[in-house]
Amino acid sequence: MFRRIVLPMVLLCAVMFITSCSDQITTGLVDEYDDGELREYQKIPVSFTEAVENSDCAAVAEFVEYIKEAGTANVRYVFEIKEVLRGEIYDKKINILATKGTAHVLESDHVYTIGGNIYTIGNEYILVMNVYDMLFYDYPHYTLPADIYIPVKDKSNGTIYGKPISEDCKEYSGDSVISFIKEAKKAEKEEGMRYTKSDHMPDIVKESDLVMEIKIIDLFAEGVFNGSPYYCEVLNVLKGGSVNRMEDGRILITLMKGSVIIGESYIIMANRVGEYSTIYGQSSLRSVIPITDTKTIEEIKDLISRG
């Protein structure tokens, strides 16, 4: 069964390059303090209504744990889902990722902090979220697209970018916020790339966009998570038709760390990032086959020939 990455295309390309995730409305790192604890970000403001409409999912959830990753400014908020209000959430417990620091809202003088221990264990909150999921993550990464904070016990005092939501959205009412989230229209988004958790070869071959014989030329960048992008030369295309290539004729494929050796050849089952993209991603954990594994390669060729 395929899982789909919900990810805008610009961010998707960045993730495929460095396999990390980012807040959708953060324009980038401005500065990092010497102690590594605080960072400064610029936020492009969106309204509460826009944030909800552009979100992937929303839920009522109980706060479980605040985790700070040692030696970094990264933090995780662990929540237990009580009620899904919007979109699809497959996991009972989710991790919301953030980075400790100071946020500057563009086109205003407003400054507020992010990544702090702001939730109370055992209390419930309304979460408006985006989710980023890919083969190379140990778990789906959730983010808060507009730093929305709404405690269930005090919904009327919800905040966005550290300021009352009522100042941003005059129609905002704590009593009706749940129904508003449920009924808000859903914005169209880029489809993103698919992957499968199946280890059954017929499934993998059938649902992969491309099956190619490639040679690993070089590492493009060391990935942050479990995958890294590699420069590759396409030697033969067994399934999928034409392959979009860079000017030098090569392509980029993100593969599981430790699965390939530079200079060696492999049969790779991959999915496209976009119609015209020269970036591809490994389609399953079993999608990298050494050229010496003739038995598996013959099985793959037979599956392709039988359609």
Which residues in the chain come in under a pLDDT of 50? 1-36
**Cβ within 8 Å of residue 113, ≥6 positions away:** 100, 101, 102, 103, 162
Q: Can you say how many angstroms the Cα of residue 207 is from the centroid of all Cα atoms in its chain?
A: 21
Question: What end-to-end distance do the CA atoms of the chain give, in Å?
Answer: 18
Nearest residue to 73 via CA among 97, 95, 94, 101: 101
pLDDT at 27: 33
pLDDT at 9: 33
pLDDT at 195: 76
| Residue position matching structure tokens 């860079």 | 246
Q: Could you tell me if 43 and 25 are in contact, meaning their C-beta atoms sit under 8 angstroms apart? A: yes
Distance CA 274, CA 32 (A): 33
Domain ranges of the chain: 2-183, 196-305
Distance CA 68, CA 53 (A): 30
Q: Which residues of 118-133 are buried (b: 16+ CB within 10 A; e: fewer)?
A: ebeeeebbbbbbbbbb
Residues facing residue 304 across a β-bridge: none
**Cβ within 8 Å of residue 97, ≥6 positions away:** 21, 74, 75, 76, 141, 142, 143
pLDDT at 188: 64
So what CATH class is 2-183? mainly beta
Other beta carbons less than 10 A from residue 225's beta carbon: 17
Nearest residue to 195 via CA among 239, 145, 256: 256
pLDDT at 19: 35
Indicate the fold that domain 196-305 takes in CATH: OB fold (Dihydrolipoamide Acetyltransferase, E2P) (2.40.50)
Q: Could you tell me if 144 and 98 are in contact, meaning their C-beta atoms sit under 8 angstroms apart? A: yes
pTM, entire model: 0.65
Distance CA 58, CA 144 (A): 10
Distance CA 206, CA 95 (A): 32
Q: Name the amino acid, one letter, at 198.
A: S
The reply to whether 196-305 shares the fold of 2-183 is: yes
**What string of H, E and C letters represents the secondary structure of the chain?**
CEEECCCCHHHHHHHHHHCCCCCCCEEEEEEECCCCCCEEEEECCCCHHHHHHCCCEEEEEEEEEEEECCCCCEEEEEEEEEEEEECCCCCCEEEEEEECEEEEECCCCCEEEECCCCCCCCCEEEEEEEEECCCCCCCCEEECCCCEEEEHHHHHHCEECCEEHHHHCCCCCHHHHHHHHHHCCCCCCCCCCEEECCCCHHHHHHHCCEEEEEEEEEECCCCCCCEEEEEEEEEEEEECCCCCCCCCCCEEEEEECCCCCCCCEEEEEEEECCCCCCEEEECCCCCEEECCCHHHHHHHHHHHHCC
Rounded-to-10 torsion of CA 179, 51, 41, 22:
100
